[in-house]
Amino acid sequence: MTTQMKDEPLSPDDRDFVTALASGLDVILAFDHANPRMTLSEVAAKTGMNRARARRFLLTLNSLGYVRKQNRHFELAPRTLQLGYAFLSANNYRTVIQQHLEDITAQIGESSSLGVLDDNDVIYVARSAAPHRLMAIALSVGTRLPAVATSMGRVLLAQLPEAELEALLETATLKHYTERTIVDKDELRVRLRQVRQQGYCIVDQELDSALRSLAVPAFDANGTLLGAINVSTNAARIDLATLTERFLPLLQEKTRQIAIQVS
């Protein structure tokens, strides 16, 4: 007898849900930029597990080569990169898009990235960096930023069905990153409708007071959303007119080329 795969995500109380696997992934994801090395107690606190449970997962991950133990501290091992590489290699469109991102940087001298939506965050999955640094944190493949406060994030949110968007906004935390950040959900809904209608998004100094960015959605030849492509600039150096009159046509042309090349 063949078991049919379910279309909807499993709930944690479903008999097919593997709690141990979910907990192991929670332990891996507990390590981040702010917490690269943690003690057993810190991992337990960050994941909401008791010490005994956290210890079992850490030791198992250590034996599998995904976590390293140094005295009292644990940290991720290089083998965890294989998890990200599996995603990148399975999505072969990344090579095509990477070339277009590098072309954008070569033409305008600004950083360009591809991001995808993951719950309330946008994750960088490809990037072409300009020499100048725009934010206090270093942006690279794997970086997560709040979708509600970024141009790529808002472009991706605007592509969601209304019910899915509303469910996501219900759990989203809107906070002031700068004095310009939108923290009212009704105002954000208006902005997202505007983004959906015009097909692009500009976020002006809402995540960082020095950052101004522009993003457009990227689709494959079948109309499937691949992610969002952006250009991030220094707000003191690049004005809004340059974004819309020079950079926007370039990004739109690149996404047209991507739609032809990626099936």
| pLDDT value at 2 more than 50 | no
Give residue-wise pLDDT tens across range 228-259: 999 999 999 999 999 999 999 999 999 999 99
pLDDT at residue 89 in the model = 58
Strands (E), the chain: 37-39, 67-70, 73-76, 111-118, 121-128, 144-146, 201-204, 211-219, 225-234
| pLDDT value at 91 more than 80 | no
Angle at 130 between CA 34 and CA 247, to 5 degrees: 115
| pLDDT value at 185 more than 80 | yes
Q: Tokens standing for 71? A: 């005295």
Mean pLDDT of 191-213: 95
pTM above 0.75, yes or no: no
**Out of 106-115, 134-143, 190-199, 228-237, least confident range:** 134-143
pLDDT at residue 7 in the model = 60
- Lookup result for tokens 């935390």: 173
Q: Tokens standing for 149? A: 């406060």
**Pairwise pLDDT comparison (84 vs 254), residue with the higher score:** 254
Distances (CA, A) of 102 to 25, 105, 232: 33, 5, 13
- The three-state secondary structure class of 57 is helix
100 close to 257: Cβ distance less than 8 angstroms: yes
**CB under 8 A, 24+ apart: contacts of 79-83:** 80/28, 83/28
Give residue-wise pLDDT tens across range 160-172: 999 999 999 988 8
How buried is residue 15: exposed, middle or buried, by Cβ count under 10 Å (0-12/13-18/19+)? exposed
Averaged pLDDT of the chain: 89
